Structure 1
Amino acid sequence: MRIGYLRVSTEDQNIARQADALRPICDELHVETLSAVAKSRPIFEKVVAGLTAGDTLVVWDLDRAFRNTKDALIHADHLKERGVNFQIVSLGVDTATADGRLAFTVVAAVAEHERNKLSERTKQGLAVAKRNGVRLGPPPKMTDRKIRNAMLRLMSTSLKDVAKYYHVQEIQKLFEAE
């Protein structure tokens, strides 16, 4: 059997691209919605545990199934020991062949390198932005002008009413418990 595994990181992401590619070549599809770095991937683990000799685990892209090179190589070795093949559709890689196994090893290393470089560049960019005085994170809920006006309002009304007026939910929640 050819068992397809699809993963997206969030509910907002669409599996259509992966599903369209895997549906015609797989006997079953299993979808999981969670981050690749999640400690536990229940659907992936169930799919892998259910594979038997002669089966092929099929994914659209390497990063849909594995966290890093080591994870990919360990899983591929365990699958091979059980007589299970692994196929990466987007790359035309099938570990049933020696060439496919070599390509898989190289692709796993490149994918991890790409993920590490992205993380590195992101951290560097954030550090530069911070040094240049760029405010990181979501925009402030209130402008300086609104804060000054809110302080003036506090002279004539309660903090709860001011928070409600400015829709500052963090402060409103403090009063909801009362």
Structure 2
Amino acid sequence: MRGHGADLYLHQQALDTTSPSGRALFGMLAVFAEFERAMIQERVNAGLATARAKGKRLGRPTVGSDIEERVRKLRADGMGIVKVAKTLGIGVSAVQRIVALPIDATAGSR
């Protein structure tokens, strides 16, 4: 903030970054915020590692090749992307992704 020529004054919290004590308090709050963010990151990474160790599959669920074929057929028949998604019970982005990929790219991956 100071680099942009701005200061912060919070009356109810008694924080004023124009004074040395206010700048010190603001700096300490920044350190604790950075520490908390690092702790959250550690917990998330530990949770992901535990899930992987237990064999949990992470990421987006795959769409089966039968669904991919139906998406391509319905689109070839002229049905709109949103209608295809609703008909098959999948997301619009999944339909868009399937249509955008070449047929060879999706056939062997599922």
TM-score (norm 2): 0.55
Matches for 1:1-178 after TM superposition, within 5 Å: 75-76=1-2, 78=3, 82=5, 84-87=6-9, 91-142=13-64, 150=66, 160-161=72-73, 166=88, 169=95, 170-174=97-101
TM-score, L = length of structure 1: 0.37
Higher strand share: 1
Cα gap change, 1:108 to 1:159, in 2 (>3 Å) = closer
Cα distance in 2, alignment partners of residues 91 and 109 from structure 1: 18
Code of the residue aligned with 2:100 in structure 1: it is: K
Q: Structure 1's 124 and 88: CA in aligned 2 closer, same or farther, altered over 3 A?
A: farther
Q: Which runs of 4+ in 1 moved over 6 A?
A: none
Identity of matched residues, %: 27
Displacement of 1:160: 2.5
Unpaired runs of 5+ in structure 1? 1-74
Structure ranking higher in helix proportion: 2
Q: Structure 2: which 5+ runs fail to align?
A: 76-83, 103-110
CA distance in 2, matches of 1:88, 1:160: 58
Query: How large is the RMSD of aligned CA atoms in angstroms?
Result: 3.4
Change beyond 3 A, Cα 1:113–1:90: farther
